[in-house]
Amino acid sequence: PSTPYLRVTPSLLKKQTGRKGKDAWMALNGKVYNVTPYAKFHPGGVEELMKGAARDGTKLFGEIHPWVNYETMLAACLVGLLVEEPEAGS
Site residues (vs ligand HEM, CB under 6 A): 35, 38, 42-44, 48-49, 51-52, 57, 60-61, 64-65, 68, 70, 73-74
Q: Which of 83, 75, 80, 29 is nearest to 52 (CA)?
A: 29
CB nearer ligand HEM, residue 59 or residue 86: 59
Cβ at position 19, least distance to ligand HEM in Å: 16
CB nearer ligand HEM, residue 75 or residue 88: 75
CB nearer ligand HEM, residue 15 or residue 65: 65
Dist CA 73 CA 26 (whole Å) = 14
Dist CA 19 CA 42 (whole Å) = 18
Beta bridge partners of 25: 34
